[in-house]
Amino acid sequence: MPDAPEAPPLGPEVDTTPRPLPARVPHRGRSVDLEPLHVRHAPELWQATRSGGAARAEGAWAYLGYGPFASEAALRAFIGGFAATHDPMAWAVRPHRTGTADGWLTLMDIQPANAAIEIGNIYFSPRMQRTRAATEAMFLPMRHAMDDLGYRRLLWKCNALNAPSRAAAARLGFVFEGVLRANMVVKGRRRDTAMFSILEDEWPARRDAIAAWLDDANFGPDGAPRRSLRRAG
Protein backbone atom coordinates (compact mmCIF):
# COMPACT_ATOMS: atom_id res chain seq x y z
CA MET A 1 0.00 0.00 0.00
CA PRO A 2 1.61 3.30 -1.02
CA ASP A 3 2.51 5.79 1.67
CA ALA A 4 0.15 8.69 2.10
CA PRO A 5 1.59 11.86 0.57
CA GLU A 6 3.12 14.28 3.02
CA ALA A 7 1.11 17.40 3.69
CA PRO A 8 2.61 20.46 1.97
CA PRO A 9 4.36 22.92 4.28
CA LEU A 10 2.17 25.80 5.39
CA GLY A 11 2.80 28.99 7.32
CA PRO A 12 1.74 29.42 10.93
CA GLU A 13 -1.86 30.23 11.68
CA VAL A 14 -2.51 33.87 12.61
CA ASP A 15 -5.28 36.01 13.99
CA THR A 16 -7.34 36.82 10.89
CA THR A 17 -9.33 39.63 12.51
CA PRO A 18 -9.05 42.69 10.23
CA ARG A 19 -7.10 45.47 11.89
CA PRO A 20 -8.70 48.90 12.40
CA LEU A 21 -8.05 51.69 9.95
CA PRO A 22 -5.95 54.60 11.22
CA ALA A 23 -8.04 57.56 12.34
CA ARG A 24 -7.50 61.16 11.31
CA VAL A 25 -6.45 62.26 14.80
CA PRO A 26 -3.42 64.11 16.20
CA HIS A 27 -0.48 62.42 17.92
CA ARG A 28 1.58 64.19 20.58
CA GLY A 29 5.23 63.52 21.33
CA ARG A 30 7.99 64.95 23.49
CA SER A 31 9.60 66.93 20.69
CA VAL A 32 7.01 66.92 17.91
CA ASP A 33 3.29 66.85 17.24
CA LEU A 34 1.53 65.24 14.30
CA GLU A 35 -1.60 67.01 13.07
CA PRO A 36 -3.98 65.68 10.41
CA LEU A 37 -2.80 67.39 7.23
CA HIS A 38 -4.99 70.31 6.14
CA VAL A 39 -4.75 73.16 3.65
CA ARG A 40 -4.30 75.53 6.60
CA HIS A 41 -0.79 74.06 6.93
CA ALA A 42 0.15 75.25 3.44
CA PRO A 43 1.67 78.66 4.38
CA GLU A 44 3.96 77.17 7.02
CA LEU A 45 4.87 74.21 4.83
CA TRP A 46 5.67 76.53 1.96
CA GLN A 47 8.13 78.43 4.13
CA ALA A 48 9.60 75.14 5.35
CA THR A 49 10.22 73.97 1.78
CA ARG A 50 12.32 77.11 1.18
CA SER A 51 14.67 76.43 4.11
CA GLY A 52 18.24 75.22 3.92
CA GLY A 53 19.30 76.84 0.66
CA ALA A 54 18.26 76.09 -2.91
CA ALA A 55 20.30 72.91 -3.37
CA ARG A 56 19.05 71.24 -0.19
CA ALA A 57 15.50 72.42 -0.81
CA GLU A 58 15.49 70.87 -4.30
CA GLY A 59 17.19 67.70 -3.11
CA ALA A 60 14.48 67.00 -0.54
CA TRP A 61 12.10 66.16 -3.42
CA ALA A 62 14.48 63.97 -5.42
CA TYR A 63 12.88 60.62 -4.60
CA LEU A 64 9.26 61.65 -4.03
CA GLY A 65 6.62 61.23 -6.71
CA TYR A 66 5.63 64.90 -6.43
CA GLY A 67 7.32 68.28 -5.94
CA PRO A 68 9.07 70.58 -5.94
CA PHE A 69 6.28 73.14 -6.13
CA ALA A 70 6.68 76.41 -7.99
CA SER A 71 4.49 78.46 -5.67
CA GLU A 72 2.57 78.39 -2.42
CA ALA A 73 -0.64 78.14 -4.45
CA ALA A 74 0.66 75.00 -6.19
CA LEU A 75 1.62 73.45 -2.87
CA ARG A 76 -1.77 74.36 -1.39
CA ALA A 77 -3.57 72.70 -4.31
CA PHE A 78 -1.52 69.54 -3.82
CA ILE A 79 -2.17 69.50 -0.06
CA GLY A 80 -5.89 69.98 -0.64
CA GLY A 81 -6.08 66.69 -2.50
CA PHE A 82 -3.46 64.84 -0.48
CA ALA A 83 -5.12 65.68 2.84
CA ALA A 84 -8.49 64.37 1.65
CA THR A 85 -7.37 60.78 1.06
CA HIS A 86 -7.69 57.95 3.57
CA ASP A 87 -4.90 55.87 2.02
CA PRO A 88 -2.43 57.41 2.31
CA MET A 89 -3.44 59.02 5.61
CA ALA A 90 -1.30 62.14 6.02
CA TRP A 91 -0.12 64.15 9.02
CA ALA A 92 1.66 67.49 9.15
CA VAL A 93 4.75 67.40 11.38
CA ARG A 94 5.18 70.25 13.89
CA PRO A 95 8.46 70.16 15.85
CA HIS A 96 8.26 71.87 19.22
CA ARG A 97 11.61 73.54 18.54
CA THR A 98 10.27 75.60 15.63
CA GLY A 99 6.55 75.59 16.40
CA THR A 100 5.78 75.43 12.67
CA ALA A 101 4.68 72.67 10.30
CA ASP A 102 7.98 71.53 8.80
CA GLY A 103 6.99 68.40 6.87
CA TRP A 104 4.53 65.54 6.54
CA LEU A 105 4.34 61.77 6.49
CA THR A 106 1.71 59.09 5.99
CA LEU A 107 0.48 55.65 6.83
CA MET A 108 -0.32 54.02 3.50
CA ASP A 109 -0.90 50.78 1.59
CA ILE A 110 -3.22 49.94 4.48
CA GLN A 111 -4.29 46.27 4.39
CA PRO A 112 -6.52 45.52 7.39
CA ALA A 113 -7.20 41.91 6.33
CA ASN A 114 -3.47 41.18 6.02
CA ALA A 115 -2.56 43.25 9.10
CA ALA A 116 0.03 45.06 6.97
CA ILE A 117 0.68 48.78 6.75
CA GLU A 118 3.41 51.07 5.42
CA ILE A 119 4.96 54.28 6.70
CA GLY A 120 5.90 56.43 3.72
CA ASN A 121 5.46 59.61 1.71
CA ILE A 122 7.88 61.20 4.15
CA TYR A 123 8.78 64.80 3.40
CA PHE A 124 10.97 66.55 5.97
CA SER A 125 12.11 70.06 5.13
CA PRO A 126 15.86 70.70 5.24
CA ARG A 127 15.64 72.39 8.64
CA MET A 128 13.92 69.33 10.12
CA GLN A 129 16.17 66.61 8.70
CA ARG A 130 18.46 64.74 11.09
CA THR A 131 16.74 66.04 14.21
CA ARG A 132 15.23 64.40 17.27
CA ALA A 133 11.83 65.57 16.05
CA ALA A 134 12.32 63.76 12.73
CA THR A 135 12.96 60.47 14.49
CA GLU A 136 10.01 60.90 16.84
CA ALA A 137 7.75 61.95 13.95
CA MET A 138 8.37 58.56 12.32
CA PHE A 139 8.11 56.69 15.61
CA LEU A 140 4.65 58.01 16.52
CA PRO A 141 2.76 56.46 13.56
CA MET A 142 4.89 53.31 13.76
CA ARG A 143 3.87 52.84 17.41
CA HIS A 144 0.26 53.72 16.62
CA ALA A 145 0.09 51.09 13.86
CA MET A 146 1.76 48.30 15.81
CA ASP A 147 0.67 48.92 19.42
CA ASP A 148 -2.67 50.71 19.12
CA LEU A 149 -4.03 49.10 15.96
CA GLY A 150 -2.29 45.71 16.21
CA TYR A 151 -0.79 45.42 12.73
CA ARG A 152 1.47 42.46 12.16
CA ARG A 153 3.72 43.84 9.41
CA LEU A 154 5.10 47.37 9.15
CA LEU A 155 6.61 48.19 5.77
CA TRP A 156 9.16 50.75 4.57
CA LYS A 157 9.74 51.17 0.84
CA CYS A 158 12.04 53.57 -0.98
CA ASN A 159 13.88 54.14 -4.22
CA ALA A 160 16.81 51.74 -4.12
CA LEU A 161 19.12 54.69 -4.95
CA ASN A 162 17.89 56.68 -1.94
CA ALA A 163 20.79 56.13 0.45
CA PRO A 164 19.46 58.40 3.25
CA SER A 165 16.10 56.57 3.28
CA ARG A 166 17.80 53.19 3.36
CA ALA A 167 19.98 54.35 6.24
CA ALA A 168 16.92 55.64 8.11
CA ALA A 169 15.17 52.30 7.70
CA ALA A 170 18.18 50.44 9.10
CA ARG A 171 18.51 52.92 11.96
CA LEU A 172 14.88 52.41 12.95
CA GLY A 173 15.35 48.64 12.94
CA PHE A 174 13.65 47.65 9.69
CA VAL A 175 14.89 44.42 8.10
CA PHE A 176 15.98 44.59 4.45
CA GLU A 177 13.91 42.20 2.31
CA GLY A 178 15.30 42.84 -1.16
CA VAL A 179 14.81 44.99 -4.24
CA LEU A 180 11.88 44.98 -6.66
CA ARG A 181 13.53 45.71 -10.00
CA ALA A 182 12.02 48.29 -12.36
CA ASN A 183 8.65 48.11 -10.59
CA MET A 184 7.74 51.80 -10.95
CA VAL A 185 8.21 54.86 -13.12
CA VAL A 186 8.59 58.06 -11.08
CA LYS A 187 8.96 61.45 -12.75
CA GLY A 188 9.80 59.74 -16.01
CA ARG A 189 12.58 57.59 -14.54
CA ARG A 190 12.79 53.89 -13.77
CA ARG A 191 12.60 53.12 -10.07
CA ASP A 192 13.92 50.01 -8.37
CA THR A 193 12.28 49.73 -4.94
CA ALA A 194 14.10 48.62 -1.80
CA MET A 195 11.81 46.81 0.66
CA PHE A 196 12.13 46.74 4.46
CA SER A 197 9.84 45.49 7.22
CA ILE A 198 9.35 45.05 10.94
CA LEU A 199 7.16 42.13 12.08
CA GLU A 200 5.10 41.93 15.24
CA ASP A 201 7.57 39.72 17.10
CA GLU A 202 10.44 42.10 16.23
CA TRP A 203 8.55 45.24 17.12
CA PRO A 204 8.89 45.30 20.97
CA ALA A 205 12.69 45.41 20.79
CA ARG A 206 12.62 48.06 18.04
CA ARG A 207 10.06 50.13 19.95
CA ASP A 208 12.02 50.01 23.18
CA ALA A 209 15.28 50.97 21.44
CA ILE A 210 13.72 53.99 19.75
CA ALA A 211 11.91 55.04 22.94
CA ALA A 212 15.18 54.84 24.91
CA TRP A 213 16.95 56.95 22.29
CA LEU A 214 14.18 59.57 22.42
CA ASP A 215 14.26 59.77 26.21
CA ASP A 216 15.32 63.14 27.62
CA ALA A 217 18.22 61.48 29.45
CA ASN A 218 19.82 60.65 26.09
CA PHE A 219 20.21 64.32 25.14
CA GLY A 220 22.83 66.71 26.45
CA PRO A 221 22.39 70.42 27.19
CA ASP A 222 23.22 71.23 23.57
CA GLY A 223 20.41 68.97 22.33
CA ALA A 224 22.78 66.41 20.82
CA PRO A 225 22.14 62.70 21.52
CA ARG A 226 24.61 60.96 23.82
CA ARG A 227 24.47 57.71 21.85
CA SER A 228 23.34 56.61 18.42
CA LEU A 229 20.05 54.87 17.84
CA ARG A 230 21.80 52.02 16.05
CA ARG A 231 23.87 51.27 19.19
CA ALA A 232 20.80 51.70 21.39
CA GLY A 233 19.20 48.70 19.68
Q: So what's the pLDDT on residue 56?
A: 80
**CB-CB contact of 166 with 172 (8 Å):** no
Task: Name the pTM for this structure.
Answer: 0.94
Tens of pLDDT, residues 198-217? 999 999 999 999 999 999 99
Q: What is the CA radius of gyration of the chain?
A: 19
Q: So what's the pLDDT on residue 87?
A: 98
Pairing of strands 89-95, 32-36: antiparallel
Tens of pLDDT, residues 81-107? 999 999 999 999 999 999 999 999 999
27-232 CATH pick, 3.40.50.300, 3.30.70.980, 3.40.50.2300, 3.40.630.30: 3.40.630.30
Residues of the chain with pLDDT under 50: 231-233
